[in-house]
Every structure is written in C-alpha cells, then in structure tokens.
C-alpha cells in the first residue's frame, strides 16, 4: 500500500514559505503515485471473457479466465497445459 504524504499543518510566515511547502508536498505525492503506478503496471493482468467456446480466444495469457457458454463451465488458462475447467 502506498504511503501518501500528509500536507503539513503549521502556520507559514510568508507566501514564499507556503509555495515551498506546497511544492515539496506535491513532489513527494507525485513520487509516491509514480511508485504505486509502476507497481500496478508490473502486476500481471488477468482477462475475463464470456465466450461461446474458449477456442475463439486468439492468444490467451497465463491466468486468463473464461466462461464457456456452450459447456456452461468456467475455465482458466495455464501456459503449457491450455484451458482447464474450474467446475
């Protein structure tokens, strides 16, 4: 989980201090958001399909899930094994 910075709670003595404080906080927030975005981008994506048959899915990836209407089954794709029934 990300550790987003809190905005400091103290009185500033001038507009310049306020601007410096705000920019510092914003830069830290952007850094945390970038780190969280990089983690999410690196995470594996799973696609969920609703199809008549799993054969209609062109290039499935490891971890993809499909509901095959023709067989009324949920199936998961495993590299090297192919589509496996869940139920």
pLDDT band with cut points at 50, 70 and 90 for residue 41: confident
* Count of domains forming the chain: 2
Contacts of residue 47, Cβ cutoff 8 Å, sequence gap at least 6:
60, 61, 64, 65
> Do 3 and 35 belong together in one domain?
yes
> Do 28 and 57 belong together in one domain?
no
Structural domain boundaries, residue 22: 1-43
**Higher pLDDT pick, 21 / 43:** 21
> Do 23 and 2 belong together in one domain?
yes
pTM here? 0.48
> Do 35 and 52 belong together in one domain?
no
Instruction: Give 42-86 pLDDT, tens digit per residue.
Output: 777 677 888 888 888 888 888 889 998 888 899 999 988 899 998
Average pLDDT over residues 8-37: 89
For residue 45, how many C-alpha atoms fall within 13 Å in the half-sphere facing its CB?
5
Contacts of residue 5, Cβ cutoff 8 Å, sequence gap at least 6:
25, 28, 29, 32
> Do 31 and 3 belong together in one domain?
yes
27 is written with which tokens?
């830069």
> Do 33 and 52 belong together in one domain?
no
pLDDT, residue 1, reads 67
């Amino acid at each position: 989980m990300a550790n987003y910075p809190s905005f400091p709670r103290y009185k500033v003595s001038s507009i310049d201090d306020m601007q410096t404080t705000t920019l510092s906080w914003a830069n830290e927030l952007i850094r945390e958001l970038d780190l969280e975005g990089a983690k999410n981008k690196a995470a594996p994506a799973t696609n969920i399909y609703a199809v008549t048959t799993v054969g209609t899915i062109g290039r499935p990836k490891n971890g993809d899930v499909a509901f095959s209407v023709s067989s009324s089954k949920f199936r998961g794709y495993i590299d090297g094994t192919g589509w496996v029934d869940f139920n």
